[in-house]
Amino acid sequence: MIDKNATESVARLALGDRNLGVVRTDEPLRLHSNWKIGGPADVFIEPENEEQIANAICVANENDIPLVVIGDGTNLLFDDKGVRGIVLNLGRSFGRHTIERNVVKAEAGIWVPRLARITASSGLAGLEHIVGIPGTLGGLVWMNGGSLRKGIGENVISVSAIDMKGNTNVLTNEECGFSYRGSAFQKMKAIIVGVELELKPGNQREIKSSMLKILRSRSSKFPRKLPNCGSVFMSVSDLYEQYGPPGKIIEDLGFKGRRIGDAQVSKVHANFILNRGNASSVDMLELIKQIRLSVYKKTNMWINCEVHYVHPAGKIEPAHMALAP
């Protein structure tokens, strides 16, 4: 475990004359999570440009302090203890975009539904499936997120990322290693800062109509009132063919409405876990563990998490990997 005194010294440095952007200490991470769960980050930095990102990396390296990069925190479960290190938040300052013919270049902090609507208004098709997904483009690419069994990686030409030496590299689609809800970035120490996408010319009215249908479907099927991170578990093809999607399996096992503390399986869609007020990371992980075990006992197959857990020491991994089976 990282000594809090070490990050306090970094905080003093960060609040000094280093060019890092907006810096706060003891920032509650629940404010940066759709689940509204998480203790304080010792140092929380909102950089305004790539130079400040490189400077933050330098500060972390010089002081041997963990560096955690987040976007909107849509798919993250922070620990109740927070993060003993630096949390770097790529948000509003990284929201620019350009469109040239059917190629879109966008920064990592752009809001995903906004990007989908911008491309639709430009008569470009291909991003309809992400119009209802909350979060930033960087996080979406990191997860190869999407809906309707599609992923953003299908449209990626290249990704610009800053490595842990502060250098910016451009990776091709192949180098990004996209898989179902995965990418090479999940194991790579690099910060996504920009994405180049290739879309197809289409009929603006038809594209917007398709988006509206997707939004209506999501609104009718998914819980919206209480904090949640969207789908907790990934769909597995073999499991899907035999038993259906994760939500159906979990519902069939009687988990709808199941509650541990203030963590509760949604009564609307069983692949959603809600925070009913004061749920802890322990509550969430225990409920995830119980669901996984029950599914395994019924099907002899494990279901894995889309949501990622952030350890206090800064490690990020799929939530199921933070648990004993």
Query: What is the signed CA dihedral for 279, 185, 147, 256, rounded to 10 degrees?
Result: -30
The verdict on whether 181 is a catalytic residue reads: yes
Of the candidates 30, 84, 181, 258, the residue annotated as catalytic is 181
Residue 53 CB-density burial (10 A; 0-12 exposed, 13-18 middle, 19+ buried) = buried
User: Locate tokens 């063919």: which residue?
Assistant: 241
Reported as type and span, the H/E element at residue 172 is strand 168-172
Of the candidates 231, 235, 266, 280, the residue annotated as catalytic is 231
Nearest to 270 by CA among 245, 291, 248: 248
- 238 CB neighbour count, 10 Å cutoff: 9
Cβ atoms of 169 and 140 within 8 Å: the answer is: no
> Cα-atom radius of gyration of the chain, to the nearest Å?
20
Nearest to 46 by CA among 14, 2, 76: 14
The verdict on whether 121 is a catalytic residue reads: no
Nearest to 79 by CA among 49, 35, 142, 112: 35
Q: How far is CA 213 from CA 28, 175, 208, 218, 219, in A?
A: 36, 34, 9, 9, 10
User: DSSP string covering 179-238, please?
Assistant: BTTB-GGGTS-EEEEEEEEE-EE--HHHHHHHHHHHHHHHHHHS--SS---S--B---HH
Nearest to 104 by CA among 124, 87, 84: 124
Q: What angle do CA 240, 156, 121 make, to 5 degrees?
A: 95
The verdict on whether 231 is a catalytic residue reads: yes
Nearest to 307 by CA among 233, 248, 245, 251: 233
Tokens of 19: 């060019």
Nearest to 59 by CA among 105, 19, 2: 19
Residues identified as active-site: 181, 231, 306
